Each structure stands twice: as C-alpha cells, then as structure tokens.
Amino acid sequence: MSTSFSRTMRSLSADSGRRALLGILGAAVALSLWTAWLTLSRVPVYERSASARVEVDGAASPVESAEAGRVVSSRMSLGRRVSEGEVLVELDVRDEALERDEAASRLDAITPQLDELRAQLAAANRRLTEGSVETAASAEAARARVREAQTLAANARSEAERAERSRELGHGGAADAERARALAESRAAATEALASELRRVAPGGRSQDAALRGEVARLRGEVARLEGERSVLRATIERIANRASRRLIRAPVSGILGEAAALRPGMMVGAGQRVATVVPDGELRVVASFTPGTALGRVRVRQAARLRLDGYPWAQWGTVPAVVRSVGSEVRDGLVRVELAFPAPRATRIPLEHGLPGEVEVEVERVSPAVLALRAAGQSALGPRARRSP
C-alpha cells in the first residue's frame, strides 16, 4: 500500500515538472517571436491631411462679368457642357447700339465731304500749276518784246545820231535828221511801255500764285481735319463695339458648368461679379492641405497614399489609392499644398468626380513596432504633434 502511494507521488511530481518545463519553453518561444516582431517587422506610418478635395487637373475657371449691366438672356444651367467662347449671358447693349449708330452716321457724312474737298484740292493744284506756267510764259513773252523794242530803239537812236552828224556836215537835210530823232524817241517810248508792262505782269502772276497757294493750303487743312475726325470716329466705333462685346459673358474654357447663378432677364449684374464656374475637361487629381510639421521634410514625391472620401464611409467603400505628385515648399494660410495623382487603372467602386471632399493619408515611412512604441511614448510625454495611424 505504501509502495503504491509512493509511486503515485513520484509520477505526479514528474508530470508537474514536465508541464512547467513546457510552459517555460512556450513562454520563451512566444517572447522570442514577439521580440522578433517588435524589432524586425515593419509597419507603415501615415501623415494625415487637414483637408483634401478631388479636382480636375486644371483649375476650375470662374465666369465673371467684365461690365455692369442688365441681363437680357441667360443660357446657364448646372451640369451643362459649354464650349470655349460660348455666350452664356447677354447684357443690355442698347446704349452702345445707339452710340454706334450715331458715330456711324457721322462717319458716313464725312466720306462725301472728303471726296468733295479732295476734288477741290486737285482742281486748285491744277490751277496753281497751270497759272504758274502761264505767268512764266507771259513774263517771258513780255521780256522778249522788251528786248526787241530795246534793239529797235538802239537802232533808231544810232540812225538819228548819224542823221544829225550828216546834217552838221552838210550831207543831209534837217528834215531827215528830225524824222530820225522822232523815230528814236518813239522807239524809246515803246520800250518803256513794254518794260512797264513786264513790271506789271510779274507781280500780278506772283499775287495770283500766292492766292492759289493759300487756297490749296486751306483745302489741305480741311482734308486733314476731316481725315482726323474720320479716324476718331472709327476708333470710337471700335471702342463701342469692344464695350458691347464685353457685355456678352462667355465661357473662358470648354467644360461643364459646376456652378451657375440663377440669372433672369431684368436682373442687374455688377462689374467683376462671378456668375458661374466652368470645370474643364481633364484628368482627376487630389489636392490636399497638410500642416507644415507633417508635410515639410516627410511627404515626398512618389509616396503611396490613400484617399478617404467624406460621402463614402471607408468601412463600406474602402479607400482610393493615390500617389504623391508634387509637394509645395511654401506655407500658405498655415498649410502646405500637396497634389496627388490616381494610378491607372483605378481600383475603386467610388464614382470619382470633381469637388468630392475627404482626407488623404500618405505613407511617409515604415518602421518597427518598437520604434513606433518609443515614438508614441515620447509624444505622450511631450505632447502630440501629428496624427498618425498605421
């Protein structure tokens, strides 16, 4: 009996030792595996954006009114596709039309006046040219007659002198000498008369030419004045047309109306007022804003990211993969701009479109759980600086 009891006790003692040894070995293996995972494995570290938004690659273009005016018609509706330069809103241009018609009427009246003045100027130039030629010819003819008369007078004077010498020598009569002297005097008087006529013709021609030149100058001044007035009217018409065209509000780019004001005929629109927004065609991208401490030096180009959209719970719809495309280097409004692209093909069931809000998480590094735990401990001691989630 005592022998059996003793054997039983020894058996129980041996079983307890084996269980303890197995427990110690299991704990050692678990601790080794946990230590290996803690130090050797890698988990992703994410930086989360303050905000994010899906946008078309190419900024949405605002449609603004260049001039103030009253709405005549509007062809805007949300979601409508428009083409670049298409008229979306027409403002009242009746004042411009009246000003244009007035300027056009004045311009039309100037044309026949210019034609008439140019014809008068051409005629005056012809008269001036012809008068100058005629005056020159008359003066030359008068000078020729004077020269002829001077020659005849000189001959008559010589003849009278010879007749007088003959009379004194007794070779001729007194009557012959008297006739010769009378002829010489007559020739001299005729020469003087012709010279007087020459002196009258030259100033008269110059006076007539001066009058014609004055008329030509006056006509040229009138033509220049009307041509200047015509140029001013043409510029005025062009300026009025430009102002009228600015009252046609056009689409700056081709795309879809993402926002449109409810404009009805008779409503007033102010200069610079935004009436619509055109979302251009293009690839979708994500524009996110990060705090400087989380982005600068940590978020880099080609890092993987995931997008969570506010309207699509990620537990049901999942996240949308993205890749960092560019990172801003300057802080604006306390945030850093980061642009991300969607890889092709898009592995998501979410219908992506311009304007969807959400948040972005960028994988900035992979570290061991031990390092992550140490960081968490340090942040708990110093205060959290960034929100990170594995």
Q: How far is 163 from 308, CA to CA, in rounded Å? A: 142
Q: How far is 342 from 321, CA to CA, in rounded Å? A: 7
Predicted confidence at residue 215, as pLDDT, reads 76
Most confident of 65-69, 135-139, 183-187: 65-69
**92's tokens:** 């009242």
Predicted confidence at residue 200, as pLDDT, reads 65
**316's tokens:** 């049901």
**In the structure, what pLDDT confidence band is assigned to residue 15 with cuts at 50, 70 and 90?**
low
Predicted confidence at residue 109, as pLDDT, reads 86
Q: Which value, in Å, is the radius of gyration of the alpha carbons in the chain?
A: 56
Q: How far is 157 from 181, CA to CA, in rounded Å? A: 7
Task: Read off the pLDDT of each residue in 312-338 and give the average, rounded to a whole number.
Answer: 90
Question: Which CATH architecture group holds 61-88+247-278?
Answer: Beta Barrel (2.40)
The share of the chain scoring above pLDDT 70, in percent, equals 68
Predicted confidence at residue 139, as pLDDT, reads 61
Angle, CA 15 vertex, CA 10 and CA 17 arms, to 5° = 95
Fold of 95-244: Helix Hairpins (1.10.287)
Task: Read off the pLDDT of each residue in 206-224 and give the average, rounded to a whole number.
Answer: 74
Q: What are phi and psi of 83, to 5 degrees?
A: -105, 155
Predicted confidence at residue 274, as pLDDT, reads 92
Predicted confidence at residue 60, as pLDDT, reads 80
**168's tokens:** 């004194």
Predicted confidence at residue 282, as pLDDT, reads 79
**299's tokens:** 């978020």
**In the structure, what pLDDT confidence band is assigned to residue 337 with cuts at 50, 70 and 90?**
very high
Kindly give, in sequence order, each residue whose CB lies less than 8 Å from that of residue 64, ignoring residues fewer than 6 positions away.
Answer: 249, 272, 273, 274, 275
Domain ranges of the chain: 41-58+282-382, 61-88+247-278, 95-244
Paired strand residues for 356: none
Predicted confidence at residue 229, as pLDDT, reads 86
**In the structure, what pLDDT confidence band is assigned to residue 38 with cuts at 50, 70 and 90?**
low
Query: How long a stretch of residues is the chain?
Result: 390
Question: Which CATH architecture group holds 41-58+282-382?
Answer: Beta Barrel (2.40)
Most confident of 10-19, 47-56, 157-166: 47-56
Residue 265, pLDDT > 80, answer yes
Query: Is-above-0.85 flag for pTM?
Result: no
Residue 5, pLDDT > 90, answer no
Task: Read off the pLDDT of each residue in 350-363 and give the average, rounded to a whole number.
Answer: 89
Q: How far is 260 from 258, CA to CA, in rounded Å? A: 7
Paired strand residues for 309: 358
Going edge to edge, which strands form the sheet with 268-269?
A: 248-250, 87-91, 69-74, 268-269
Range 241-273 burial, b when 16+ CB lie within 10 A, else e? eebbebbbbbbbbebbbbbbbebeeeeebeeee
Predicted confidence at residue 224, as pLDDT, reads 85
**To the nearest whole number, what is the mean pLDDT of the chain?**
78
Q: How far is 184 from 157, CA to CA, in rounded Å? A: 5
Predicted confidence at residue 387, as pLDDT, reads 45
Side chain identity at residue 102, one-letter code: E
